[in-house]
Amino acid sequence: MKFSTKAIHVGQEADPTTGATIVPIYQTSTYTQDAVGKHKGFDYSRTVNPTRVALEKQLASLEDAAHASAFSSGMAATAAVLNLLSAGDHVVVSDDLYGGTYRLFSRVLERYGLEFTYVDLSDLAAVRGAIRPSTKMIWIETPTNPMLKLVDIAAVAALRPAGAVVAVDNTFATPFFQRPLALGADVVVHSTTKYIGGHSDVVGGVAMTSERAIHETIKFHQNSVGGVPGPFDAWLVMRGAKTLALRMREHERNAQAVAEFLAGHGKVESVHYPGLPTHPQYELAKRQMSGFGGMLSFTLRVPEARAMEFAAGLRYFSLAESLGGVESLICHPARMTHGTIPKEDRERRGVTDGLLRLSVGIEDVDDLIDDLRSALDAL
């Protein structure tokens, strides 16, 4: 069964009671039991809910994973994966990563005794140098947020110490364009708020693996901590995932055209997009991914204040957090998504005050380019 067929059919069987073609929203917190411990596989919706089960089956099939655990946000999924670790364990982390992940690691989990080392994971020598006897996880984003750097998943996975887990945040690429488990990763995380949901109308997350022991630990923490999606949120993500292939093809087509336009404009200093031959890891992108995605970032040849004016002055690119919806968004990472990272650390990683990030939507690409051209001409 191929990707688009799985997205529509796996976990989406007709309701056995009514024949409903679409999975129902099981809006219930509890389930009537025939006797104590005798039930139909459902006892309490924090633990298990039929709508959520359908979503987990669907998403696991798209990532070619044996197991999936859905969460109420991408950060809840990330936290559950980090619960595989114990105090004193060490994590090697992409130095360019989502600001919310950095905040969780540096301001929450360090207080519980986990240790984190941030390195450029595209530099395999740096990865080797960062690994310690206590290293129990390598956390990868690829492409990274917001610099769109790539990490060679297979090469990094080959460096992991015995018993260490390789986890990949696959949100930017989506399972349509990248399959980390097939490249040697142990766990894949998505913010389903983004491309998988695809319509900016729901917040969610998922963690997926084919390792049963890892799944059982994540599932235990999913139930124990309780950061689960409600049935309506699960249903919205499930609905969005059905059109993921269609949307990602259009996101990529538009992003490629926008990146090429920006790269050729005199007021643009640099463009970061894996689909440009000038990208330093272009060959890796072609080898590791089946498409380049809908995200890019760029720096203007203007002062920071003018960059902010540019971001606020666009017509079709809304100034907003998040990404991956059908509508185009623009973000100023240093002031928005990555504001919790200290300025000196941000700038060392390339997240300067002049950097802007685009989530290129599926509008007509001519309208998007005309919007950018008009704003650039006004600078």
**Nearest of 308, 362, 303 to residue 334 by alpha carbon:** 308
What pLDDT score was predicted for residue 339?
67
For 200, residues 6+ apart whose C-beta sits below 8 A from its C-beta are 322, 324, 325, 326, 327
The arithmetic mean of pLDDT across residues 184-198, rounded, is 98
Phi, psi of 301 (to 5 degrees): -90, 50
Catalytic residue (choose from 98, 118, 195, 273): 98
Higher pLDDT: 307 or 266? It is 266
User: For 42-100, how does the pLDDT look when each residue is reduced to its tens digit (9 = 90+)?
Assistant: 899 999 999 999 999 999 999 999 999 999 999 999 999 999 999 999 999 999 999 99
What pLDDT score was predicted for residue 295?
98
Contact assessment for residue 187 and residue 165, using Cβ atoms and an 8 Å cutoff: yes
The CA distance from 318 to 329, in Å, is 5
Fold (CATH) for 3-241: Aspartate Aminotransferase; domain 2 (3.40.640)
The arithmetic mean of pLDDT across residues 248-265, rounded, is 98
Domain 244-377: assigned CATH number: 3.90.1150.10
**Nearest of 43, 40, 36, 33 to residue 17 by alpha carbon:** 40
Whether the pLDDT of residue 351 is over 90: the answer is no
In this structure, of 275-279, 321-325, 337-341, 359-363, the range with the lowest mean pLDDT score is 337-341
What pLDDT score was predicted for residue 18?
94
Domain coordinates in residue numbering, the chain = 3-241, 244-377
The CA distance from 14 to 325, in Å, is 28
DSSP codes joined into one string, 187-237: EEEEETTTTTT-SSS---EEEEES-HHHHHHHHHHHHHH--PPPHHHHHHH
pTM surpassing 0.75?
yes
Whether the pLDDT of residue 172 is over 80: the answer is yes
Whether the pLDDT of residue 291 is over 70: the answer is yes
* Region label for 233, one of left (φ > 0), alpha (ψ between -120 and 50) or beta (otherwise): alpha
Whether the pLDDT of residue 341 is over 90: the answer is no
Residue with tokens 């809840």: 76
Question: Which stretch of DSSP H or E encloses residue 170?
Answer: none
Share of the chain above pLDDT 90, in %: 87
CB atoms within 10 A of CB 162: 4
Share of the chain above pLDDT 70, in %: 99
The CA distance from 270 to 175, in Å, is 28
The reply to whether 194 belongs to the active site is yes
Catalytic residue (choose from 31, 46, 267, 286): 46
Catalytic residue (choose from 95, 96, 152, 169): 169
- Average pLDDT of the residues of the chain: 95
Catalytic residue (choose from 194, 346, 349, 357): 194
Residue with tokens 């000196």: 344
The reply to whether 247 belongs to the active site is no
**Nearest of 378, 376, 353 to residue 261 by alpha carbon:** 376
How would you class 37 by CB atoms within 10 Å of its CB: exposed for 0-12, middle for 13-18, buried for 19 or more? exposed
The reply to whether 98 belongs to the active site is yes
Alpha helices in 86-123 (DSSP H): 99-107
Contact assessment for residue 303 and residue 352, using Cβ atoms and an 8 Å cutoff: no
Contact assessment for residue 194 and residue 77, using Cβ atoms and an 8 Å cutoff: no
The arithmetic mean of pLDDT across residues 273-278, rounded, is 98
The reply to whether 348 belongs to the active site is no
What pLDDT score was predicted for residue 340?
72
Contact assessment for residue 173 and residue 148, using Cβ atoms and an 8 Å cutoff: no
The arithmetic mean of pLDDT across residues 330-348, rounded, is 78
What pLDDT score was predicted for residue 304?
79
The arithmetic mean of pLDDT across residues 250-262, rounded, is 98
